[in-house]
């Protein structure tokens, strides 16, 4: 076996190594020394352990990232809804105040129309409560501006009451 190894200037490349293990040359070809076998098993165990640890760490990082994403998304949606509530409440109170007959001021179309549009832009017509508010806002605008016939105080008060209640429900039931 030693004679078949490549040589340079008559010396084998593995000569120093083989000199240290020359006492092993008397073992049969299918028998490995216990020390080398133990080292290979230890090396294989370390390799398998590292791979398992990598999979566990990757799985843990992925689950923590997903949990953090869900938490941040929920916080963002809550913050967005809170801001929407404040803006919607302000717009609705301004619209109701501008169309209140008891305020004693004549209705100002140039103030009411932008408020109606602002409220309508804040609503999602695909949600039932939002669609109801939108319908009532339209009726209020038509009644106040005289586009739906002569102004009738009782119908105006009725629309005001219904709009106030619908807006209150929309403010506190966001997904309905």
Give the pLDDT confidence of 111-165 residue by residue, as tens digits.
Answer: 888 999 999 999 998 998 899 999 999 988 888 877 666 667 778 888 889 998 9
Separation CA 157–CA 146 (nearest Å): 15
Separation CA 133–CA 139 (nearest Å): 10
133, 160 in Cβ contact below 8 A?
A: no
Alpha helices in 104-148 (DSSP H): 109-122, 128-144
Q: What is the mean pLDDT of the chain?
A: 81
Mean pLDDT in residue range 78-104: 87
118, 141 in Cβ contact below 8 A?
A: no
Sign of CA dihedral 82, 86, 87, 92: positive
Place of tokens 């609705």: 92
Tell which wins on pLDDT, 141 or 173.
141
């Amino acid at each position: 076996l030693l004679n078949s190894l490549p040589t340079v200037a008559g010396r084998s490349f593995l000569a120093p190594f083989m000199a240290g293990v020359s006492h092993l040359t008397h073992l049969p070809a299918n028998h490995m020394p216990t020390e080398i076998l133990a080292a290979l098993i230890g090396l294989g165990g370390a390799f398998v352990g590292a791979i398992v640890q990598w999979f566990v760490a990757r799985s843990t990082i992925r689950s923590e990232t997903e949990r953090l994403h869900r938490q941040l998304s929920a916080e963002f949606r809550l913050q967005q809804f809170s801001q929407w509530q404040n803006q919607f409440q302000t717009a609705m109170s301004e619209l109701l105040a501008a169309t209140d007959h008891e305020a004693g001021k004549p209705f100002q179309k140039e103030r009411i129309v932008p408020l109606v549009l602002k409220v309508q832009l804040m609503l999602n017509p695909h949600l039932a409560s939002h669609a109801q508010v939108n319908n009532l806002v339209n009726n209020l605008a038509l009644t106040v501006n005289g586009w739906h016939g002569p102004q009738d105080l009782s119908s105006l008060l009725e629309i005001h009451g219904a709009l106030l209640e619908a807006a209150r429900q929309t403010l506190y039931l966001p997904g309905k």
